[in-house]
Amino acid sequence: MSGTQRLAAEGPVYELTGDSALLERMLLIRRFEDAVQRLFQRGEVHGTTHLYSGQEAGAVGVCAALAPGDRAAGTYRGHGHALALGVDPQGLMDELLGRASGVCGGRAGSMNVVDLRHGLVGCFGIVGGSIAAATGVALGFQRRGLENVAVAFFGEGTSNQAYFAECLNFAQVLRLPVVFVCENNRYMEFTPIEDVTAGEIPARVEALGLWNRTVDGMDVQAVRAGASEAVAHARSGAGPAFLQTLTYRFVGHSRSDPGAYRKPGELDEMRRRDPLAVERARLIEDGAADEAELDGLEARVAAYIDEVAARALEAPFPDPEAEFQEYKG
């Protein structure tokens, strides 16, 4: 096989163009998560959900650096990863509401969504699962002679998992085309990362000789710039790259989390660096858009997500009888 081939892939369902494309994608995620929160409180989204609010610049910046056929593995905090890759917001919302029209027919739910059509290897419910999956996808790309790159998204707490140590070394010795994106939001579930982590995470990666960089995860342009270099490195055949994004989640880890562990003033301080506000201010400063245009954009995205939520509530549930007859485990 020639080295320039890439995996066939479908384009994003929700198409974006123009200077405000990254802002629009982040808005889409934020409004989506707001809707999920509301629907969860109404008992329409079930079990538990982990929202991406505050971290949007990470997935959006990284996915903006990807090429067709590249794939990414997200986490249980995966709605942002999915939407940034171009997964259909309607299919994702339907899935969270357990409807037959969901991207996985209602089988998966929030923590386990898969949509290979749009490059989403999965949202991995097991901490560290995304790292292993992306490492393996990269092995597949490499050995099939494809010029694609795999991305693993994971949190900083995941750096203490066996998967992290084993897969980073594995990927480096095999020079696999994988980008490890560590989204450092300072907390695992309720435990501050520094309480349970020795040393700095990039130092571990450096010890393995991986290309690595840390970027401001509240700034989508900074993330995209860092990710572009990381992806180029991985695509060149030089081996895996490691990108740390310094970010923050504005909401609880999952449902029922009052956030008692946060340091005083920290949430307010980070909200002032809201990635949506940062990008909006930049567009205006650069003269790429004016206030009225961006207000219009925000209203359009909000209205679109309202429609998505309304349609999801109308969608039919799967039929258990058919489901279990069809599946032969």
90 binding other proteins? (CB under 8 A): no
33 binding ligand TPP? (CB under 6 A): no
Of positions 101, 110, 158, 212, contacts ligand TPP by CB under 6 A: 158
Stretch that binds other proteins, among 17-25, 26-34, 106-114, 223-231 (CB under 8 A): 106-114
267 binding ligand TPP? (CB under 6 A): no
Q: Decide: helix, strand or coil at residue 245.
A: strand
Q: Which of other proteins, ligand TPP, none has residue 48 at its interface (CB below 5 to 8 Å by kind)?
A: other proteins
- DSSP per residue, 35-102: HHHHHHHTTSS-S-----TT-HHHHHHHHTT--TT-EEEEESS-HHHHHHHT--HHHHHHHHTT-TTS
Q: Which of ligand TPP, other proteins, none has residue 77 at its interface (CB below 5 to 8 Å by kind)?
A: ligand TPP
State which of positions 275-314 bind other proteins (CB under 8 A): none
Please, what is the minimum distance in Å from the beta carbon of residue 100 to ligand TPP?
Answer: 27
196 binding other proteins? (CB under 8 A): yes
Residues constituting the chain: 329
78 binding other proteins? (CB under 8 A): no
- Return the number of the residue (158 or 212) whose C-beta is nearest ligand TPP: 158
106 binding other proteins? (CB under 8 A): yes
Q: Decide: helix, strand or coil at residue 110.
A: helix
Please, what is the minimum distance in Å from the beta carbon of residue 113 to other proteins?
Answer: 10
Of positions 18, 46, 189, 307, contacts ligand TPP by CB under 6 A: 189
Q: Which of ligand TPP, other proteins, none has residue 107 at its interface (CB below 5 to 8 Å by kind)?
A: other proteins
Quick note: the x/- pattern for other proteins over 115-154, rule CB under 8 A, is ----------xxxx--------------------------
126 binding ligand TPP? (CB under 6 A): yes
CA nearest to 282, candidates 34, 57, 55, 14: 57
Dihedral, CA of residue 50, residue 52, residue 58 and residue 63, to nearest 10:
80
Please, what is the minimum distance in Å from the beta carbon of residue 27 to ligand TPP?
Answer: 21
Q: Which of other proteins, ligand TPP, none has residue 196 at its interface (CB below 5 to 8 Å by kind)?
A: other proteins
**CB 318, CB 97: distance < 8 Å:** no
Radius of gyration of the chain (CA): 19
160 binding other proteins? (CB under 8 A): yes
Query: Which residue(s) pair with 202 in the sheet?
Result: none
**CB 29, CB 52: distance < 8 Å:** yes
How many other CB atoms are found less than 10 A from the CB of residue 41?
Answer: 10
167 binding ligand TPP? (CB under 6 A): no
How far apart are the C-alpha atoms of 13 and 16, rounded to whole Å?
9
How far apart are the C-alpha atoms of 85 and 133, rounded to whole Å?
16
How far apart are the C-alpha atoms of 294 and 277, rounded to whole Å?
11
How far apart are the C-alpha atoms of 100 and 203, rounded to whole Å?
46
Indicate the DSSP class of residue 156: G
77 binding ligand TPP? (CB under 6 A): yes
156 binding ligand TPP? (CB under 6 A): yes
- Return the number of the residue (1 or 260) whose C-beta is nearest other proteins: 260
**Strand arrangement, sheet containing 241-246:** 120-124, 71-75, 150-155, 178-184, 241-246, 211-216
- Return the number of the residue (53 or 101) whose C-beta is nearest other proteins: 101
Enumerate binding residues for other proteins (CB under 8 A).
Answer: 46-48, 98-100, 102, 105-112, 125-128, 157-158, 160-162, 188-191, 195-197, 260-261, 317-321, 323-324, 327, 329
